[in-house]
């Protein structure tokens, strides 16, 4: 590779490089997903599933399984099952999230609950959960089953915690961390850990990859929460200001509230606790966050978690996949740098 080509290569998104590197595996994953989301009797199931699964999601979670397994030298077939499993769990949670949040758009398209109805989203989500559990049984690894069923419980608990923390200005950063570990990091860390375990990696590598996934997921979610206040971001395919309208108490809100004067507290109480939101309130929220450096402080935390993710990879083999995963951690926070 010439220097020029090498520079071009480095400038490509780490996600795309991962996708290229793992292309054959991902083809197998996509084939398995298509096969298993079918239903002999109920055509509504593949209709709803395909609407979401084929809407151009980044397939980040299945790629984490594949990358972890390959980085640990796996040569068997079952990383594909586990990759499809985490994509099914992810898709099921998105279907249920959109019902819970009454969302209208996802990945730039109308949500399933809007195109069909809440009933279909709830039940097809349940079907995908069940299919995920069938898939994860097939490799025959009880340890992998523990990892993934624990993750499913952490995800659901995090979602309930988020529901309770919404509209509650008493939510602190520790609770916020539990919520985002549940809603995002649990599946990231289960993906990387399960990939390492199925490859028979030693305990040090298993823990390193688990730590990587956890930190990457936390960084990813803090960034997502920041971008929700970060102005128009059409690339996300979701509306900015959603969290504000849904009165979710995310990290920049927690930091702004902690530093609020009495007048500002009254503002936060009105818009988040009482839900009395008026024209210009979102802009006012952004202004208060800026005034107290809440956005900058949250950004610093995201960068710190990304650094932890990169650091966790130090003991893994120095191969292209490791570099791509390190770059991925950097890239996730580059959106806010």
Residues that bind a copy of itself (CB under 8 A): 39, 41-45, 93, 96, 99-100, 118-120, 122-124, 126-127, 129-131, 133-134, 137, 140, 142, 145-146, 149-150, 152-153, 155-157, 159-161, 163-164, 175, 178
Q: Which is nearer to a copy of itself, 152 or 289 (CB)?
A: 152
Taking the complex as a whole, how short is the minimal distance between the CB of residue 97 and a copy of itself, in angstroms?
A: 9
Q: Which is nearer to a copy of itself, 75 or 140 (CB)?
A: 140
Spatial neighbors of 224 by CB under 8 A, at least 6 apart, are 184
Taking the complex as a whole, how short is the minimal distance between the CB of residue 300 and a copy of itself, in angstroms?
A: 26
Q: Which is nearer to a copy of itself, 142 or 232 (CB)?
A: 142
Q: Please provide residue 105's backbone torsions phi and psi, each rounded to the nearest 5 degrees.
A: -135, 145
CB 68 within 8 A of CB 192: yes
Q: Which is nearer to a copy of itself, 39 or 240 (CB)?
A: 39
Spatial neighbors of 156 by CB under 8 A, at least 6 apart, are 182
Give CA–CA dist 22/80, Å, rounded. Answer: 11
Alpha helices per DSSP H over the chain:
3-11, 14-21, 23-36, 44-53, 60-71, 79-100, 112-115, 118-137, 142-165, 173-180, 186-198, 203-227, 242-245, 251-258, 262-268, 281-291, 294-312, 320-334
Give CA–CA dist 199/67, Å, rounded. Answer: 11
Taking the complex as a whole, how short is the minimal distance between the CB of residue 4 and a copy of itself, in angstroms?
A: 50
Residue with the two structure tokens 């988040």: 272
Q: Which is nearer to a copy of itself, 60 or 161 (CB)?
A: 161
Taking the complex as a whole, how short is the minimal distance between the CB of residue 12 and a copy of itself, in angstroms?
A: 37
3-state secondary structure of 236: helix
Taking the complex as a whole, how short is the minimal distance between the CB of residue 148 and a copy of itself, in angstroms?
A: 8
Is 8 exposed, middle or buried, given 0-12, 13-18 or 19+ CB atoms closer than 10 A? Answer: exposed
Q: Which is nearer to a copy of itself, 131 or 292 (CB)?
A: 131
Taking the complex as a whole, how short is the minimal distance between the CB of residue 127 and a copy of itself, in angstroms?
A: 4
């Amino acid at each position: 590779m010439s220097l020029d080509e090498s520079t071009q290569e480095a400038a490509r998104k780490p996600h795309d490089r991962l996708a290229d590197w793992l292309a054959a595996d991902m083809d197998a994953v996509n084939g398995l997903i298509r096969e298993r989301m079918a239903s002999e009797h109920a055509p509504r199931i593949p209709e709803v599933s395909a609407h979401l699964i084929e809407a151009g999601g980044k397939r980040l979670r299945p790629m984490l399984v594949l990358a972890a397994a390959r980085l640990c030298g796996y040569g068997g077939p079952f990383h594909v099952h586990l990759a499809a499993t985490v994509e099914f769990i992810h898709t099921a949670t998105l279907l249920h999230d959109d019902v819970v949040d009454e969302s209208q758009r996802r990945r730039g398209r109308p949500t399933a609950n809007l195109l069909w109805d809440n009933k279909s989203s709830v039940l097809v989500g349940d079907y995908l959960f069940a299919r995920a559990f069938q898939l994860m049984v097939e490799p025959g690894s009880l340890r992998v089953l523990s990892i993934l069923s624990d993750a499913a419980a952490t995800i659901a608990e995090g979602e309930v915690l988020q529901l309770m923390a919404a509209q509650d200005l008493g939510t602190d950063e520790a609770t916020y961390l539990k919520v985002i570990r549940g809603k995002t990091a649990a599946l990231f860390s289960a993906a990387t850990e399960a990939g390492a375990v199925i490859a028979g990696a030693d305990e040090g590598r298993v823990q390193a990859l688990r730590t990587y996934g956890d930190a990457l997921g936390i960084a990813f979610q803090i960034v997502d929460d920041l971008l929700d206040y970060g102005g128009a971001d059409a690339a996300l395919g979701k509306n900015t200001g959603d969290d504000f309208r849904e009165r979710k108490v995310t990290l920049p809100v927690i930091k702004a509230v902690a530093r609020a004067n009495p007048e500002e507290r009254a503002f936060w109480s009105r818009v988040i606790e009482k839900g009395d939101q008026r024209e210009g309130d979102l802009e006012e929220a952004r202004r208060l966050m800026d005034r107290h450096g809440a956005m900058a402080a949250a950004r610093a935390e995201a960068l710190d978690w990304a650094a932890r993710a990169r650091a966790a990879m130090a003991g893994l083999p120095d191969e292209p996949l490791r570099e791509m995963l390190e770059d991925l951690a950097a890239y996730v926070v580059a959106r806010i740098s």
